[in-house]
Each structure stands twice: as C-alpha cells, then as structure tokens.
Amino acid sequence: MERIKRILVSDGFNNAMSSIFAILIGLLFGFIILLISNPSQAVEGLGIILKGGFSAEGKGMGQVLYFATPLILTGLSVGFAFKTGLFNIGAAGQFIMGAFAAIYVGVHWTFLPAPLHWIAALLAAAVVGGLWALIPGLMKAYLNVNEVISTIMMNYIGMYMANYLVKLTVYDRLRAQSLDVANTCVLPKMGLDHIFYNSLGGGKDLSTVNCGIYIAVIIAIVIYILLNKTTFGYELKACGYNADASRYAGINEKRNVVLSMVIAGALSGLGGGLLYLSGAGGRHIKVVDVLASEGFNGIPVALLGLSNPIGIIFSGIFISYITEGGNYLQSLNYAPEIIQMIIACIIYFSAFALILRKIIPGILKRRAENKKGGEK
Amino acid sequence: MEYIIEMLNITKEFPGIIANDDITLQLKKGEIHALLGENGAGKSTLMSVLFGMYQPEKGVIKKNGQEVKINDPNDANALGIGMVHQHFKLVHNFTVLQNIILGVETTKNGILKMGEAREKIIALSEKYGLMVDPEAKVEDITVGMQQRVEILKMLYRDNEILIFDEPTAVLTPQEIEELMKIMKGLAAEGKSILFITHKLNEIKAVANRCTVLRKGKYIGTIDVASTSKEEMSEMMVGRKVDLTVQKKPIEPGNVVLEVKNMIVKSKHHSKNAVNNVSFQVRKGEIVCIAGIDGNGQSELVYGLTGLSQVESGEIFINGQNITKESIRKRNLDGLSHIPEDRHKDGLILDYNLTENLILKNYFKPGFQKGSFINFKKSREYAEKLIEQFDIRSGQGTKTMVRSMSGGNQQKAIIARELDLDPEILIAVQPTRGLDVGAIEYIHKQLIEKRDEGKAVLLVSLELDEVMNVSDRILVIYEGELVADVDPKEITMNELGLYMAGSKRNEVTA
C-alpha cells in the first residue's frame, strides 16, 4: 500500500498521468463534436480516429511517423525555448524558411554526392531556421522586445518570404508548387521501406517515411542531454528560471537568450528540412498564404510532452496518429471542416496537460490528507 | 485562569517533516505573548494553523474555552483573529482609508459611504495613538506608518487577537520604540497580542510571557520578567549562545578594495543614487556601510559587483582596475557577494540545493569535464558544504531550494560565497530575518574571514550589528558618505544623527 502511494505522488507518474488524462478529455470533446455533427456515425467515427494510422495498415503507420517527424522537431523547438524561459511562437516561420533552404539546396546543389547532398540540405535548413529566430532573440536580449510578439511577426514575414523565394528559385509552374529535390537529396529509407508498406499485388505500396524519424529521435535525445547534463544547459535553464540570479552568478544572460532562440529556430528549421526532403511522393511547398500548421502544432506537442524532450517524441507521434486517424474519417459522412475541428479539439484539449499537471498532485494530496484526517 | 485562545497539542506534518509536534500555546486576555524560535522551528506553521491556512493532524483550538474549527482565514476573522504580516498586504495607490475598509466597505444602495468609516478610523487612531492620516496614499507614507495602517485594519474589524509576524524587521530604531508603545497600549485596552520575533530585546521590552519552540517541538512557556535573555536564547537554540560578538584586535593590512569617485545613476529619479563615493577596505578589516534603507546602499553594491553600470569613477581589487570587468571576471578576481535579496539575486529557487551551491563553480574544472557537469562531484561538494555549514533541508542535496526555510536558504548562499575563498566579501544585510543562532553563526563566519586576513564590506540596517561587528563604520546618506567613524568611539545616538542626515563629516578616502 505504501509503495503504491509513493508511486502515486511521484513526479514521473503524475507527469504521465496528467498527459494521459488530458488526452482522454480531448477525445471526449472530439466525441461530443462527432455526436453533434452526425450522431448516427459518431461511435464508428471515434473508432476510426482511435485506430489512427492503423486504418491503412503498414503504410498508414509509416505516414504517422513521417508526419510525426516535423512535429517532434517543432515540439522540441517550443519545449526547448520554454525550458529556458522563452515562448517561441515563431516555429511556423522558422519551419517554412528551413524548408525552403533545404529545397533550394536540394534542387540546385546537384554537384554534391548522395549522403553529402541531403546532409548539406538539412544543415542549411537548420542554419536558416536559426537565423530566422536570431532576430527575435537579439531584440529580446538587447531591446527587451517581447519574443511572443516578434516571433509571431516573423511567422508572417517568413511565410511570404518563403513563398516569394520559392516562386523565384525553385518553382514548378505546372503543379504550382516547389520542384522535386534531386534524388541525391532525398532522405534515405534506412530499412524503413521493409516495415512500412502495403502489399499491392506483387509490388509494395511504400510509405513516405524515411530516416527523418531516426534523426528526430536522435535530436530529441541530444537536446535532453544538452539540457540536463551540460554546463550550457545548466546555464540556459538557470536563465529561464531566474535571469537576475543568473546574471549575479556571472552568466551572460543576454547571450544565452540569443543562443536559446537560435537553437529553437534551428530545430524548427530542421523540422522543415526533414519533412520536405522526401522525393516526388512527399510534401512540397505550395505557394499559398497559410502559416505552416506544423509550426503551431509544435505548441500542443510541447505542452503535451510537458517540454520534456523524450516526452515530446511520444506526444509528436500521438498527435500525428490522431491527425492521420482524422483523415480516414472522410470515409464516413463528415465534412472535411468538421474533421479539422474535431482533430484540433483533441489536440488542443490534450495540451491542457500542463495545467492538469499542476492540479492533479494537489487533488491527490488533499485526498490523502482528508483520508488521514478521517482515520484519526 | 481565563484564556482567550488556546491551541492544545497541535501536530502538523508535511511530507518528510513534522513542522509542529504536539505544541500547546495559551494566550491570556490582555497579554502580550511572544512566540520565540529559530527559523524552521514551526512558528509560521503554528500561526498558519491558527489563521486557518493549514489544518492540523492532531490537536484542538479553543476560544474562550469553546472548541472552534478554523477552516480558512475568513473563519479566523470571524473569531476576531487578525494578523500583521511581515510583508504588508496593502494596495499602494489606494489611500489609507481605502486600504483599511477594503473587504468590509460600508455601502448604501451599492454606493460607498466613507464618512462613517473615516470617523471610526480617526477615533481608533486617536485612542491607540496611531497617528495616521486617512487621506494619505500608502505609497507616500513611511514603512512604519504602513505598519500602523495594518494595525488599524485589524482594529477596524474589531479583532481581539492580534498576531504580529516579525513586525520590527522593517523598522528603524525610533519606529521600533513607537511600535512597542503602541503594542503596550493595545494590550492595556484589552487586546491580546501574539508577537512572533527572534529579537530577545524586544521580548524583554514588551512581552508578558513567551512560548519557545525548537525544531517543531514545544520547549516551554516562561514568564519574561523572571527569565534572562541568555536563558531564553538557550531554550531557543538548545545550547549556550554568545550574544556579544567576540573579536580580537587585528591590524589591517594592504588595501584590497578601493573605490574612487564612484557615481551610480538612480533608476527612479534624476539624482545620482550613489554620488561621488570614495573609500577603501583593507585586509583584516570589516567595514560597515550604515544608513537608513534606500540611501543608495543597494546601488552602491550593484555598482561594485557589476550588476549595474557605474556612471563614472573607478573600482580596484588588489590594485587592479575592475570598473569595466564582467561579473564573472570580478567573481574570479576574488569578489564574493551575499546579495540583499536572496530570492531575486541569490538563488534559483527552482533548482535544487546542489545546483544552487555550484552556481558560481559549475564551469570550473572538477565540476565539469568537456562541458558535461559532473553531478557526482557536485553532489559530494554540496554534501560537504551542507555538513560544514549545517544547512538543514527536507531531502538533502535534492531539496528544491524554494521549499527551504529562509534561514537555511541564507546559509546556502553564505556557504557558497565563503567557500569561494574571496579576497573581498560584500555582505548585504546577511542576517535579515534570521534568528539569534543563525545571526551568531553568520557574524562568526564574517569575523573568521576577517581574522584570516580577508576584507569584508558589510552593508547593514541593524544598528546592533553595525556597532558590534564592524571595525570601521561608513555612514551613507542620500548617496553620499557622511561619516567615517570607529565604532568604539561613537554612540548609537550619534550614529543615528549621521544616518538621519542631521550631522556630517567630510569623508576622505
């Protein structure tokens, strides 16, 4: 009994519990909207959402991982900034600028051989994403401009800038989207093509998933180590918790604010690169005036993962899974807009995990106290 | 004997710690009852139980012999219990009158009726000699007057039992004397007062009886008149405490810190916060900057430590000009700083004790290798400091500093700063809010550093501390040094005159 109680009040358990609880609340709200819009198919619809990528077997699960990759990166971007006391709302702009950089390198730098080519493209994505966040970082550190406002502004500048640059340099007029990157710049499958496919007669219907998911997981682990094991992470977190005391201790807090933002931006930019370097069957930049949803979804991913890099891997995969499930809802009688709403509801309610994280331990503790009071 | 409030056998536990273990406190009608104990002895917890903020696991509370249940502060108010918190709960841009009636406004059809309230306040103010102008804005009046507003708040609500939580910590000597008079007046009018304090002088001056707590346990209740200060401090700390500071004479050596014509701009007004200040601190010397709060002490220290820009002037450590150096460089040059505001500057409250103890060391070899923090070494180092400086906490090195008591937080800072083995130690109000045992300890540490031949610059608002600890006193008034005196050759009164700006000497460094 004692042991169970100790687990119940431990931090790790509470973190996991609050995330799971939040997901359940999110699903409940999703179900309510399903009921309102089409009661007769609501239960079946919820089943499809819960089945997620599995609805389309191996390929479906591959797609879940493919779309989880950028979400993990933007989630890391938001979560990392948050751990260091900054709100990076600019993942969308950093993401799309990084994506453009990767595509540009992928289309034009064909002189590079295979592994070097995609590596260079990913590096370009990270660098450009980082530069895009450098501006709000500098403004925050030296002019005390709130980073929430400046990163939101940079989102729009980034979106229009990417549209303009795509049209100027890597535009496919026939399909009104960015050109396919060179084959040497498509991320290799690294064995994933043997797992995530659907049999189609004699051949394989391959999923788009590639080694990007490996890279995302590795980056998450690197960020975890950086934050928790290194002097650099110690400084960054110190600045996030208490900038005054950090300054008092001789930490250059202005430099750290800038570096935090640059790293966060590089993560988002890399996410853009990983999503778009996927050959003809994968995603292309469509020149439309819409902010990249992967950028904003980084916020719920980070919240649901409680800004823990390892947690973010799972929350990224979960949100991608639910989104894929939503796509298969079209087989029922639901309007695409309703599907979007349902998925958004599930995602955003799940993001309340952060709030619940604060409430649940309090409730458990109070209950324990009451019980003790009753026993006396 | 008639008790107005009784707290019988109160036990309150928190995870890992019993904050109150079977404590009994009985308050008679019309008495001033002191509650004495070190930091972390459980005084605040006990008062929080009385005020309804915590529910005790065991024990009962009785008012006038009737058992009562206090579930929240509203219940406490209904029972006539009022409290003056250490940090006042006032709305700064409201008038005194508005602050006092806040929450119990008299209205007619939803419109405020201030007239009645004003009359009642003026009557109360005269009756108890509180001298408060109801129309003054709180932000314009002195700290002492703000405290009297808090007292009026309790009286306005017809509270019978008044709790004062360390009321003298923020007051000047003159204001303390006045407060003592007010408290006696209140008791004479039949109010019962619970007086939480560390300061034995004050207990001697006003209290009738005193309950002593130690480490969450009830030690005893004594009659103040028939008990000596030494006996009280022994009950509180559990061992004999030396109330006078023992220092052997020492000949100061070379100049360690030299300040020349330093000017620091004020953030709040156009005048200079520190105006053309020059002084020296030598090896083996404790120099104290004395003055009333807000006369430029904080800005002076911020300038010295690099936390703010110096407008003009120069600072030298061991002859080396550090005026333009970074904070990190100054620290490495041998400057240690015990900051005035431990929560804002001194600690990262959401880091654990280990992480806070390595705050100025983490980048040095031994604590890191190839940019990776060596957590094992750091923990061992923290354990060493915890042992050496007797830092008490719930979960040792893993304790979140936010959860530690103020005294132990301060000990953690002192441990960290002293272990840097500084050339010059700048200590700003290092004993603020601490109890006798901790104060004795900190004074000993400062003197030990001095005896080792280090230079110490102490900034203090406590006259006792200024007179007892320092070898030389510099008085600061409106950003300028107005006196450079030897504590052995000056009386407290004279020092008070310098501090109030009514007397000045030319100070030449």
Please report the residues numbered 170 through 229 in chain A whose beta carbons come closer than 8 angstroms to any beta carbon of chain B: 229
Chain B interface includes A10 (CB < 8 A)? no
The shortest C-alpha distance from A309 to chain B (Å) reads 18
Q: Do A245 and B307 touch (CB under 8 A)?
A: no
**CA distance, residue A310 to nearest chain B CA (Å):** 19
Q: In the prediction, which pLDDT does B163 show?
A: 92
pLDDT score recorded for residue B243: 64
Instruction: Kindly report the average pLDDT of chain A as a whole number.
Output: 87
* Closest CB from B331, B337, B348 relative to A242: B348
From A231, A241, A369, residue closest to B362, measured CB to CB: A231
Is the pLDDT at A193 greater than 90? The verdict is no
- pLDDT 10s digits, B143-172: 788 888 999 999 898 899 999 988 877 677
Choose, out of A229, A248, A364, A376, the residue to mutate when testing the contact with B (most B CBs < 10 Å): A248
* Higher local confidence (pLDDT), B316 or B408: B316
Residue B249 to chain A, least CA–CA distance (Å): 34
Q: Does A254 touch chain B (CB under 8 A)?
A: no
Looking at residue A366, its pLDDT comes to 62
Distances in Å between the alpha carbon of B40 and those of A130, B34, B165, B229, B386? 48, 17, 14, 21, 16
Torsion of CA B137, B141, B143, B148, to 10 degrees: -70
With bands split at pLDDT 50, 70 and 90, how would you rate the model's confidence at A211?
very high
| Interface contacts (A, B; CB < 8 Å) | 68
Query: Given pLDDT bands bounded at 50, 70 and 90, which one contains residue A335?
Result: confident
Minimum distance, in Å, between the CA of residue A250 and any CA atom of chain B: 4
Q: Is the separation of the CB atoms in A279 and A207 below 8 Å?
A: no
**Per-residue model confidence (pLDDT) at position A376:** 34
Looking at per-residue confidence, does A345 or B339 come out higher? B339
More confident position, A370 or B46: B46
Please name the member of A9, A234, A247 whose beta carbon is closest to the beta carbon of B362.
A234
Reference B26, options B183, B178, B194; nearest CA is: B194
> Do B466 and B173 form a contact (C-beta atoms < 8 A)?
no
- Summarised one tens digit per residue, pLDDT across range B369-385 is 888 999 999 999 999 99
Contact B348 A248 (CB under 8 A): no
Single out the residue of B155, B215, B197 nearest to residue B32, CA to CA. B197
Is residue A10 pLDDT above 70, yes or no? no
In angstroms, rounded to a whole number, what is the distance separating the alpha carbons of residues A237 and A309?
14
Q: Tokens representing A180?
A: 């396919």
CA distances from residue B204 to B27, B200, B225, B466 in whole angstroms, order as listed:
17, 6, 7, 21
The predicted-structure confidence for A291-326, as pLDDT tens digits, reads as follows 888 998 899 899 888 889 999 999 999 989 988 888
Q: Is B481 exposed, middle or buried (0-12, 13-18, 19+ CB in 10 A)?
A: buried
**Among residues B389, B331, B394, which one has the least CA distance to residue B360?**
B331
Q: Can you tell me the mean pLDDT for A203-232?
A: 92
Q: For residue B467, what are the CA distances in angstroms to B224, B246, B286, B401?
A: 26, 12, 11, 32
**pLDDT of A212:** 93
Q: Which residues of A touch B345 (CB under 8 A)?
A: 244-245, 248
ipTM reported for the complex, 2 dp? 0.81
Q: Does the predicted TM-score (pTM) go above 0.80?
A: no
pLDDT over threshold 60, residue B258:
yes
* Residue A8 confidence (pLDDT): 62
Distance between A247 CA and the closest CA of chain B, angstroms: 7
What percent of chain A has pLDDT above 90?
Answer: 49
Q: For position A224, what pLDDT does the model report? A: 96
pLDDT digits (tens, 9 = 90+) for A107-117: 999 999 988 99
Q: Is some CB atom of chain B closer than 8 A to the CB atom of A362?
A: no
* A245, A247, A373 ranked by CB distance to B347: nearest: A245
Q: Do B328 and A241 touch (CB under 8 A)?
A: no
At B109 the pLDDT is 81
pLDDT of residue A153: 94
Residues of A in contact with B375 (CB under 8 A): 229
Q: What is the pLDDT of residue A356?
A: 67
Residue pair B428/B338 in contact by the 8 Å Cβ criterion? yes
Any residues with CB less than 8 A from the CB of A38 and at least 6 apart, and which? A45, A332, A333, A334, A338
The dihedrals phi and psi of B262, each to the nearest 5 degrees, come to -75, 135
> Using alpha carbons only, what angle is made at residue A17 by residues A15 and A22, rounded to the nearest 5 degrees?
100
Tell me the nearest-neighbour CA distance from B375 into chain A, angstroms. 8
